[in-house]
């Protein structure tokens, strides 16, 4: 399974809801902030397998309310058993 790496500011909380169907993994980062903010959210996925390397990046600016879990985006990836990769979620 890929390494999930996260960076969160202050006492914010990020969780990753992950489901799998065959080789397709769906990752939905969910964040709960202690203060409302206008945040730039960036999801980055790096993958290396037998057919080469790939990079997927999603980025947008969101107005996030405080103390309420918010699903940021949905990322679906085909991951083979011999693949190596990293998924990151950043809130700025």
Q: How far apart are CA 14 and CA 6, in angstroms?
A: 8
Q: Does the structure show a pLDDT above 70 at 72?
A: yes
Read off the tokens for 4.
Answer: 């999930």
Q: What angle do CA 85, 33, 3 make, to 5 degrees?
A: 10
User: What distance in Å separates the CA atoms of residue 34 and residue 57, rounded to the nearest whole number?
Assistant: 26
pLDDT in tens, 27-65: 888 888 888 888 887 777 777 777 788 888 888 888 888
In this model, does residue 67 exceed pLDDT 70? yes
The per-residue pLDDT for 8 is 42
Rounded Cα distance between 50 and 73, Å, is: 28
Predicted local confidence at residue 4, as pLDDT = 35
Q: What is the pLDDT of residue 35?
A: 81
Predicted pLDDT at 92:
60
d(CA 8, CA 31): 9
Best CATH choice for the domain 3-91 from the list 3.40.605.10, 2.60.40.2420, 3.30.70.20, 1.10.10.10:
2.60.40.2420
pLDDT of 11 higher than 70: no
Split at pLDDT 50, 70, 90, the class of 21 is very high
3-state secondary structure of 10: coil
Any idea what DSSP says for residue 83? -
């Amino acid at each position: 399974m890929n390494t999930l790496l996260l960076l969160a500011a202050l006492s914010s909380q990020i969780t990753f809801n992950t489901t799998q169907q065959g080789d397709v993994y769906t990752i939905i980062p969910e964040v709960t902030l202690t203060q409302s903010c206008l945040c730039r959210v960036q999801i980055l996925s790096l993958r290396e397998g037998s057919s080469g390397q790939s990079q997927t990046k999603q980025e947008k600016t969101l107005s996030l309310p405080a103390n309420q879990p918010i699903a940021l985006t949905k990322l679906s990836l085909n991951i083979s058993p011999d693949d190596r990769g990293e998924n990151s979620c950043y809130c700025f």
